[in-house]
A and B are shown apart, each in its own frame.
Chain A
C-alpha cells in the first residue's frame, strides 16, 4: 500500500504493509534512528514523534493512519530554535541525556511549552507520565522544563 505523508517538512511516500508500526518505518525506511523501538505499547515515550502538533508514541501507530499527515521526528525538530531552548534549559537543570528517551523528553517538553511557557509543576509532571526515563529524576526534568520556559520567554521577548 502506498502511503504519502510529510516527514520533517518534506513530502514523502512509502510502499509498505499498512499494519507496520510507524517507529519501525522511520527507523528502517528513513534511517531516523533516534526514535527507539522499546515497549511497543506507548508507555515509555522513547519512540515519540509529533503528529500534527501532538506528541504521539509512534510504536502504537500503524503506518496507514499517518496518510496525508505531518510528522516531525526529533531529528527534524533539532533544526528549530525551540529545540535549543529546551536543550539549554535541560543543561541548566542538570538533566542527563543518555540518548535513549531523548525524543520523548524533548518533544513532551516542547508540547508543554507550546501551550504554556509558565506551566506549573503539576502540569509538567502529568505530561511526563508517558515517558520512562531511567537516567534522570523527575524533579530535574520538571526543573528543566521550567528553565526552558524562561529561556523561550526571553527569546520571544515575552515578559
Chain B
C-alpha cells in the first residue's frame, strides 16, 4: 500500500485494459476514485501497488438508448446520468442517483464504481437490481453478460475475481405505474446503515401484472419467487392480503442467512409501506 511503489496504468481503450489485465497480476481497477477518497482522511491517498485507471477510456463513458434498453458505460458519471433528465431514464434510478453525494462528487463518481464498490452496496444497486439490469463483464480474454444479482452474493460477499471489469450496464426501459425509491439514512452521506429500497409495480385492468422489490445495503434482497406470489392479484390489495404477504416474506427472507438486525427490520417496514401503496 505504499505509494512509492504504486504504478498507475492509464488505458486508452478496452483492448488496452484487457492487455493490462492479462500481463499484470493483482491490478486494482479504479474509475472516479471517490470510494478510495471516501475511506481515507490523510493528506495523501494510499493506493494499491498496481492501479489501472479506466476514467479516460472513451468506450467506457458512452451512453446509448434503443427501443428496449438503455446502455451505460461504467465510467459514465452520476452527474451525466442526471443530465439526461428524469423523462429519459427510469425514475427509480434517477431518484437513487439524486441522493448520492452532492453535484461536485457526482461529477466524478461513476455508475460502475457505485455498483462495484467493495463493502456495502451503494445507492444505485437496489434500483438496478429491481430493473433487471445486466452487466457485461470483461476479463483479459472474453466478455459475457450476467444479471446484477450475480455480481455479488446475496449476503454481500464479492463473487467477482479481480482480473475483470464491468464494461457495459444494460437497463431495460419499461414503464411502471408505481416507481418508488427510498434511501435509508441521510442522503449525500454513506454510513454503515446506508441502504436503498426500490419498489416497482404495474397493473393492467386492476390486476397486478408485474412487481419488483429490491433492497441493497450490507446485504441485498430480490426474490422473483416472492414477487410471483403477488403477480395476478387484483388491485387494490386488502389489509388481509398485506398481512398474508408479509408472513410469506418471512419465509423468503431466511433468518439463518439474515439474522434479525436493524437492516432486516428496515426491509420489512419498507416492504409493508410499499404494499400499502397498492391498497
Is B173 an interface position by the 8 A CB rule? Answer: no
User: In the complex, are the beta carbons of A60 and B108 less than 8 A apart?
Assistant: yes
User: In the complex, are the beta carbons of B188 and A129 less than 8 A apart?
Assistant: yes
User: In the complex, are the beta carbons of B44 and A19 less than 8 A apart?
Assistant: yes
Tell me the complex Cα distance, A108–B45, Å: 25
Q: Residues 47-60 of chain B: 1 if any A CB is under 8 Å from the residue's CB, otherwise 0?
A: 10001010110000
Interface size class, chain A: 20 to 34
B32 to A, closest residue via Cβ: A65
User: In the complex, are the beta carbons of B107 and A55 less than 8 A apart?
Assistant: yes
Question: For residue B45, which residues in chain A have a CB less than 8 angstroms away from its CB?
Answer: 19-21, 62
User: In the complex, are the beta carbons of B10 and A67 less than 8 A apart?
Assistant: yes
Q: How far is the CB of B48 from chain A (nearest CB, A)?
A: 10
The contact of B105 among A24, A60, A111, by CB within 8 Å, is A60
User: In the complex, are the beta carbons of A57 and B104 less than 8 A apart?
Assistant: yes
User: In the complex, are the beta carbons of B46 and A19 less than 8 A apart?
Assistant: yes
Question: For residue B101, which residues in chain A have a CB less than 8 angstroms away from its CB?
Answer: 42, 130
Q: Residues 100-122 of chain B: 1 if any A CB is under 8 Å from the residue's CB, otherwise 0?
A: 01111101100000000000000
Knowing A1-B8, A21-B43, say if A60 contacts B33 (CB, 8 Å).
yes
A58 to B, closest residue via Cβ: B104
Knowing A65-B53, A68-B56, say if A60 contacts B37 (CB, 8 Å).
yes
User: In the complex, are the beta carbons of B6 and A18 less than 8 A apart?
Assistant: yes
The contact of A55 among B38, B103, B189, by CB within 8 Å, is B103
Question: Which residues of B are interface residues toward A (Cβ below 8 A)?
Answer: 3-4, 6, 8, 10, 32-34, 36-38, 41, 43-47, 51, 53, 55-56, 79, 101-105, 107-108, 188-189
